[in-house]
């Protein structure tokens, strides 16, 4: 890994920290407030690609684990991994990796703009929603004993917000791809 | 802006080495997940709560730190009441609360540098395999701590620019410029690191 990749990973982890400081937005038609930080998975994968994106999140989790309150709402420390949503937090690394793999596979420079939007949206939905829930929900079920079906039903409340996040991440990732492309330079 | 969750103090837990505390946390979670006895879970909960409250946190701060996780635990416990026998719900809830409290106690009594020493030690086998360099991890961590205030200042500047033009402050229009402006610095920072020979390349 060259120094530039190392710096990109560190800067992106720092961006995810700052996204946690932005106040969450509440929308009338969605039951849960939307935190900018939870968009980080989709953004990191779509902008830095699989390897660097996943490493950026691994670094972010290291910050959480060593006791820095960097999760949105000033949370942090080992307690968040021990809690019911620990699986979602650990799942961020895998989710970012998958998002990055799909984005690298489907988005190229010189493609029509629409194809790039579709590629980023697909990557964000599969990586940031499908993979993340596939790790997070069984974890919740395993540690709290709540049947998986009940957890899945409850998680439906988060889905509208997640799709909105995927849409925002798609637009932002495409803007970065047009302004300062990093995805094609494979690490 | 980034103040550690560590609390100064000289309790028994403060003086224990990090490795012992982390091992204890792992052992406790294995033990509690293997045991289905209400008595064991209750004992672990009382001990963890006692440890957590003895590290020198004010009541308010102590509650604030675990409040959000406890909220999730209680919410799921309330759901479980309709689906599982009462004894199971009590076991599951006490187990999670005990683990969260113990983990919070470890976090409160360990400094960042103690954690980083342990991380470096844990990375040594991987370093021998040539997968990762412990010095790179410390460097990356230092870079994050160094640049978070800068990036936050940049976020505030973009937000002010929105307000000055009468635009609504939306995540979409903020995130794009924030990421481009931040990542564009990467080349300069990388050049500065290499010029100082920090990575000996």
Residue boundaries of the structural domains of chain B: 12-110, 132-195
Q: What is the pLDDT of residue A92?
A: 96
Q: How many CA atoms lie within 13 A of B165 on its CB side?
A: 9
Structural domain boundaries enclosing A161: 3-179
**SS3 (DSSP) at A34:** strand
Q: What is the pLDDT of residue A187?
A: 46
Interface test with B, best of A145, A153, A161, A167 (most B CBs within 10 A): A145
CATH number, residue A145:
1.10.1760.20
Distance from CA of B165 to the nearest CA of A (A): 20
**Digits of tens for pLDDT over chain B (201 positions)?**
678 888 888 888 899 999 999 999 999 999 998 888 999 999 999 999 999 999 988 989 999 999 889 998 999 999 999 988 999 999 999 999 999 999 999 999 999 989 989 999 999 999 898 888 888 999 999 999 999 999 999 999 999 999 999 998 888 889 999 999 999 999 999 999 999 988 876
**A123 contacts A46 by C-beta, under 8 angstroms:** yes
- List A71's β-bridge partners, or say none: A75
B6: left (phi over 0), alpha (psi -120 to 50) or beta: beta
State whether residue A157 sits within 8 Å of chain B by CB.
no
**B116 contacts B18 by C-beta, under 8 angstroms:** no
In a domain, A184, yes or no: no
DSSP state of A29: T
Q: Which two tokens stand for residue A151?
A: 């957890």
Contact B4 A15 (CB under 8 A): no
Whole-number Cα distances in Å, B2 to A18, A40, B158? 11, 19, 21
Residue of B nearest to A174 (CA): B176
Q: What is the pLDDT of residue A34?
A: 77
A181: left (phi over 0), alpha (psi -120 to 50) or beta: beta
Between positions 6 and 35 of B, the ones with CB within 8 A of A are: 6, 25, 29
**SS3 (DSSP) at A71:** strand
- List A34's β-bridge partners, or say none: A25
Residue of A nearest to B120 (CA): A62
State whether residue B88 sits within 8 Å of chain A by CB.
yes
Quick: pLDDT tens for B145-166.
999 999 999 999 999 999 999 9
- Domain count of the fold of chain A: 1
DSSP track, A15-46:
HHHHHTTSPPB--TT-SSPBPGGGGHHHHHHH
Least Cα distance to A82 among B96, B68, B110 occurs for B96
From chain A, pick out residues whose CB is under 8 angstroms from the CB of B69. Answer: 75, 79-80, 82-85
- List A75's β-bridge partners, or say none: A71
Whole-number Cα distances in Å, B4 to A65, A157, B66, B98? 11, 33, 15, 22
**A161 contacts A32 by C-beta, under 8 angstroms:** yes
Q: What is the pLDDT of residue B10?
A: 85
From chain A, pick out residues whose CB is under 8 angstroms from the CB of B162. Answer: none
Quick: pLDDT tens for B167-184.
988 888 899 999 999 999
Question: What is the residue whose two structure tokens read 């879970």?
Answer: B41
Q: What is the pLDDT of residue A28?
A: 66
Residues B113, A61: Cα–Cα separation, whole Å: 16
CA angle B53, B58, B60 (to 5 degrees): 105
Contact B183 A8 (CB under 8 A): yes
DSSP state of A130: I
Question: Helices B18-34 and B112-128 meet at what angle, rounded to 10?
Answer: 80
Nearest to B92 among A1, A81, A144 (CB): A144
State whether residue A76 sits within 8 Å of chain B by CB.
yes
Between positions 32 and 51 of B, the ones with CB within 8 A of A are: none
Q: Which two tokens stand for residue A181?
A: 């492309």
**Digits of tens for pLDDT over chain A (187 positions)?**
889 999 999 999 999 999 998 887 777 666 667 788 889 999 999 999 999 999 999 999 999 999 899 998 888 889 999 988 899 999 999 999 999 999 999 998 888 999 999 999 999 999 999 999 999 999 999 988 888 999 999 898 889 889 999 999 999 999 999 988 888 765 4
Nearest to A144 among B76, B172, B180 (CB): B76
Alpha helices in chain B (DSSP H): 12-15, 18-34, 38-53, 59-83, 86-108, 112-128, 134-164, 171-183, 186-195
Distance from CA of B83 to the nearest CA of A (A): 8
Q: Rounded to 5 degrees, what are φ and ψ at B85?
A: -65, 150
Residue of B nearest to A61 (CA): B141
CA angle B191, B196, B198 (to 5 degrees): 95
Distance from CA of B12 to the nearest CA of A (A): 19
**B28 contacts B98 by C-beta, under 8 angstroms:** yes
Task: Enter the ipTM.
Answer: 0.90
Q: What is the pLDDT of residue B108?
A: 93
Neighbours of B50 (CB within 10 A): 11
Distance from CA of A110 to the nearest CA of B (A): 20
Interface test with B, best of A1, A5, A14 (most B CBs within 10 A): A14
**A187 contacts A1 by C-beta, under 8 angstroms:** yes
State whether residue B83 sits within 8 Å of chain A by CB.
yes
Interface test with B, best of A5, A66, A124, A157 (most B CBs within 10 A): A66
What lies within 8 Å, CB to CB, of A171 at 6+ separation is: A117, B172, B176
Q: What is the pLDDT of residue A96?
A: 97
Q: Rounded to 5 degrees, what are φ and ψ at A133?
A: -70, -30
């Amino acid at each position: 890994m060259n120094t530039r990749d190392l710096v990109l990973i560190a800067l992106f982890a720092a961006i995810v920290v700052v996204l946690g400081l932005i106040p969450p937005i509440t929308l009338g038609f969605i039951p849960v407030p939307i935190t900018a930080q939870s968009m980080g998975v989709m953004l990191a994968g779509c902008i830095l690609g699989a390897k660097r994106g996943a490493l950026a999140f691994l670094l972010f989790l290291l910050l959480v684990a060593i006791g820095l309150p960097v999760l949105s709402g000033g949370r942090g420390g080992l307690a968040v991994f021990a809690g019911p949503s620990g699986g979602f937090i650990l799942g961020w690394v895998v989710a970012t990796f998958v998002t990055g793999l799909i984005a690298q596979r489907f988005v190229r420079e010189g493609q029509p703009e629409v194809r790039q939007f579709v590629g980023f949206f697909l990557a964000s939905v599969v990586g940031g929603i499908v993979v993340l829930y596939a790790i997070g929900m069984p974890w919740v079920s395993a540690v709290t004993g709540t049947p998986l079906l009940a957890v899945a039903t409850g998680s439906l409340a988060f889905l509208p917000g997640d799709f909105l996040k995927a849409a925002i991440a798609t637009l932002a990732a495409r803007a970065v791809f047009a302004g300062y492309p990093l995805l094609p330079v494979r690490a | 802006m980034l103040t550690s969750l560590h609390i100064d103090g000289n309790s028994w837990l403060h003086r224990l080495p990090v490795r012992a505390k982390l091992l204890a946390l792992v052992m406790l979670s294995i033990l509690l997940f293997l045991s289905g006895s209400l008595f064991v879970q209750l004992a672990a909960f009382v001990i963890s709560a006692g440890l957590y409250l003895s590290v020198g946190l004010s009541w308010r701060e102590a509650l604030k730190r675990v409040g959000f996780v406890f909220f999730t635990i209680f919410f799921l416990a309330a759901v479980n009441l309709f689906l599982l026998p009462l004894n199971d719900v009590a076991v599951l809830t006490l187990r999670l609360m005990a683990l969260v409290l113990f983990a919070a106690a470890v976090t409160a009594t360990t400094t960042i540098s103690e954690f980083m020493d342990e991380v470096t030690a844990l990375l040594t086998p991987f370093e021998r395999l040539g997968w990762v360099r412990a010095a790179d991890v410390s460097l990356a961590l230092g870079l994050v701590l160094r640049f978070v205030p800068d990036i936050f200042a940049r976020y505030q500047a973009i937000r002010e620019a929105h307000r000055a033009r009468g635009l609504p402050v939306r995540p979409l229009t903020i995130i794009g410029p924030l990421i481009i402006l931040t990542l564009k610095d990467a080349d300069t920072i990388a050049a500065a690191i290499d010029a100082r020979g920090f990575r000996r390349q």
